[in-house]
Every structure is written in C-alpha cells, then in structure tokens.
Amino acid sequence: MNAQELNDYIEKLNVDAEDLEGYLFEVSIYSEGAIAYSELREMPLKRIKVFEERLMDYMKKKSGKKGQEYL
C-alpha cells in the first residue's frame, strides 16, 4: 500500500465511522427519547436495525396509515 492508498484508506475509515455515528444519532432522534445514543452504542447493529424497523412501523401507524397503505 503506497502513501496515497493509505491516505484514501484512512479517509474511507473516517467517513464510514462518521456515517455510522450519524445513523445512531438519527435513530435516537427519531425515537423521540425512547432510546438514547449511549444505549444504541452498546447494542449490536442487528438489534438496532430491528428497533429501527419497529420504529418506522410505529411511525407509519401513528401517522394514520394502515395495512397495505404503507407497504
């Protein structure tokens, strides 16, 4: 790996880390306090995805959509 490749690689790592942190903040914000950022950090990503799916489901139902409407 030459110097340029190393720099690109480090840059990619930083971007990926920021994306992941941003994702956790979003889930916490959209949950309106139901789950804290610090709690999300300690959870496996698989479980966060399950939480996110349920949250989306809840928000759609809350907005009045039901059944096939939001599929």
65 binds another protein (CB under 8 A): no
C-alpha dihedral (60, 62, 65, 68), degrees to nearest 10: 60
Residue 66, interface with another protein (CB under 8 A)? Answer: no
- DSSP notation for 36-63: -HHHHHTS-HHHHHHHHHHHHHHHHHHT
d(Cα 24, Cα 48) in Å, to the nearest integer?
Answer: 9
Say whether residue 30 binds another protein (CB under 8 A).
Answer: no
Contact call for residue 63 and another protein (CB under 8 A): no
With CB under 8 A as the contact rule, which of the stretches 15-23, 50-58, 60-68 interacts with another protein?
A: 15-23
Residue numbers at the binding site for another protein (CB under 8 A): 10, 13-14, 16-17, 20-21, 24, 38-48
